[in-house]
Amino acid sequence: MDLRSPLTSFLPKRLLLGPGPSNVAPSVLAAMASPLVSHLDPFFLKIMEEVQQMLRKVFQTSHEMTFPASGTGSAGMEFCFTNLIEPGDEVLICVNGLFGERMVDMASRLGAIVRRIEAPWGQPIDPTELESVLRERPFKLVAVVHAETSTGVRNPVETIGRLVHENGALFLVDTVTSLGGMEVNLDAWGVDAAFSGTQKCLSCPPGLAPVSLSPRAVEVAQNRKHPCPSWYLDLFLLRAYWGKERAYHHTAPVSSIYGLHEALRLVLEEGLPARWERHKQAHLRLCQGLEELGLEFASEKGHRLWQLNAVKVPEGVDEANVRKVLLERFGIEIGAGLGPLRGKIWRIGLMGENARISVVERLLEALGEILHKQS
Ligand SMILES: *Cc1c(COP(=O)(O)O)cnc(C)c1O
C-alpha cells in the first residue's frame, strides 16, 4: 500500500443492493464526519434524548426503554436474549431462515430449553401450527424474525403476537430488516422485546442496534434469579446511562449516534407510510422487470418482502459470475444465497435510500445485459 494515499482517495463507488449494508444519504455521512464532542457533553446528552424519541416513533412504541445499543444488529439480538433468558427457561423460536437459527444458537448458549417451530426456507411460519404448540404449555418467551433476510420472507408477526399473548409469553421480534422499510408497530402488536440494525432500511452505516423493551420485559429482567451474564449489554447498567442518571457505562460511539440521529430524522421527515410505500413501489417495479427477464422469485407469493427479493438463479447460469460482473463492471452489489439456498438464489436488497425506481432500473439494465450474454 501507498502510505501517502488517504483511504478516501481510492475508495470504490458501489450501489449496494445486497442484504445490507445499504447506501447512506450524504447528510448521514456528513453528520458522521463532524467534529466530536464528549459523550457526556450536555449537547450530546440532548442528541441521545432526541435519538431515543425518534426511535420510539419509528418503532411506534411508548416503551421508555428504547435506545441504540452499541454494536450491529446481532448485538441487539444478544441484548434481548441475554437480559431476558436464564438457564432452564422454556423458549419457543420460529425458524425459517438463517436469523431464526441464530436466535436458537443464542438462546441455547444461555441455557434455555429451546423448542423450535419451523417452516421451509422461502415459506412463512404457519400460525395454526404455532397455535397448537402454544396450547401445550406456557413458554417464557416466543421469538420470531419479522423480515427473514436470508429468504426474503415476511412472517405474520401481528397474528403471531396475538397467539403469544394468549399463552402469556414474552414476545420477541427481530426487526433488523423490517424497521424503516415496512410497518413495524411494537405497541399495536404487543411486542415485548425488539431489536434492529442501522444498516438495512434505516440507511445508516452498521454499528448500532436499536432496541426496545416493554415495561413487562423490564420487570422480567428485574426479577432474574441471577444477574445478566453480560456486563456490556446489561439492561440496568445501560439504563443508568441512557436514562435520567446519565452515569458513565461505556463510551458511546459519538459519530455513529450522530449518523443515526440524521438517518432517523430523514425517516421521519419523509414520513413512515410514505417510506413504506416507496419500498413497495420499488419492489413492484423490480417484479415487473424480473418477469420480463424471465426470472422467478424463490419466496412464496403473498409473503414476499419488498426490501429483500429472493430470486431463483436460472438453469445453466453461473450465479457467482453474474454477481462478479455486476460488481466489477457496473459497481452493483447483490447478495448470494445462504444455507440450503446457497448457489440457488440471488438476494436483491432495495433498502432505504435504494428503494427507488431509478435504482431498480439501473440494476435491471445491467442484469439484462449480463444474462443476455450468458445465454
Ligand atoms: C442483518 C440481520 C441481522 C444481523 O445484523 P448484523 O448487523 O449483521 O449483526 C439479524 N437479523 C436479521 C433479520 C438481519 O437481516
106-134 pLDDT, tens per residue? 999 999 999 999 999 999 999 999 999 99
Residue 347 marked ligand-binding: yes
pLDDT above 80: residue 375: no
Strands 65-70 and 141-145: unpaired
CA of 1 to the centre of ligand 1 (A): 32
Higher pLDDT, 2 or 54: 54
| Helix (H) and strand (E) counts in the chain | 12, 13
Q: Which grid cell is 302?
A: 403473498
**Amino acid at position 232, single letter:** Y
Mean pLDDT within 163-177: 97
Residue 236 is classified by DSSP as H
Distance of alpha carbon 298 from the chain centroid? 20
Burial (0-12, 13-18, 19+ Cβ within 10 Å), 375: exposed
How many Cβ atoms sit within 10 Å of the Cβ of residue 150? Answer: 27
- Confidence (pLDDT) at 373: 87
Residue in the block written with cell 430524522: 265
Out of 3.40.50.800, 3.40.640.10, 3.20.20.70, 3.40.470.10, select the CATH number for domain 27-268.
3.40.640.10
The answer to whether residue 37 scores a pLDDT higher than 70 is: yes
Give residue for cell 423450535: 116
Smallest Cα–Cα separation from 170: which of 126, 215, 127? Answer: 215
Residue of 16, 70, 72, 93 with the most ligand 1 atoms within 8 Å of its CB, for mutation = 72
Asked if residues 356 and 275 have their Cβ atoms less than 8 Å apart, the reply is no
pLDDT digits (tens, 9 = 90+) for 288-306: 999 999 999 999 999 999 9
pLDDT of residue 374: 78
Q: How far apart are CA 268 and CA 274, in angstroms?
A: 10
Residue % of the chain over a pLDDT of 90: 97
The pocket around ligand 1, CB under 6 angstroms, is made up of 20, 72-74, 99, 145, 147, 149, 174, 176-177, 197, 206
Helix, strand and coil in the chain, % to nearest 5:
45, 15, 40
Kindly report the backbone phi and psi dihedral angles of residue 49, in degrees, each rounded to the nearest multiple of 5, phi listed first: -60, -45
Q: Write out pLDDT tens, residues 302-317.
A: 999 999 999 999 999 9
**Would you say 31 and 261 are in contact if contact means Cβ atoms under 8 Å apart?**
yes
Examine the pLDDT at 26 and tell me if it is beyond 90.
Answer: yes
pLDDT value for 244: 87
How far apart (Å, rounded) are the C-alpha atoms in residues 227 and 207? Answer: 26
pLDDT in tens, 254-277: 999 999 999 999 999 999 999 999
3-state DSSP call for residue 33? coil
Q: Which atom of ligand 1 is nearest to the CA of 308?
A: 15
CA of 80 to the centre of ligand 1 (A): 14
Give dist(CA 314, CA 318) in Å, integer: 9
Which of 22, 70, 74, 195 to mutate for ligand 1's pocket (most ligand atoms within 8 Å of CB)? 74
How many CA atoms lie within 13 Å of 20's alpha carbon, on the beta-carbon side?
Answer: 27
Enumerate the domain spans of the chain.
Answer: 7-21+272-374, 27-268
What is the distance in A from the centroid of ligand 1 to the CA of 148? 9
Of the CATH numbers 3.40.50.1110, 3.90.1150.10, 3.40.50.10440, 3.40.228.10, which one belongs to the domain with range 7-21+272-374?
A: 3.90.1150.10
What the block records as the C-alpha cell of 361 is 432500473
Nearest Cα residue to atom 8 of ligand 1: 73
Per-residue model confidence as pLDDT tens digits over 128-137: 999 999 999 9
Question: Which cell numbers hold the place of 38?
Answer: 464528549
pTM of the shown model: 0.98
Dist. CA 185–CA 201, nearest whole Å: 15
Kind and range of the H or E run holding 223: none
Summary mean pLDDT of the chain: 97
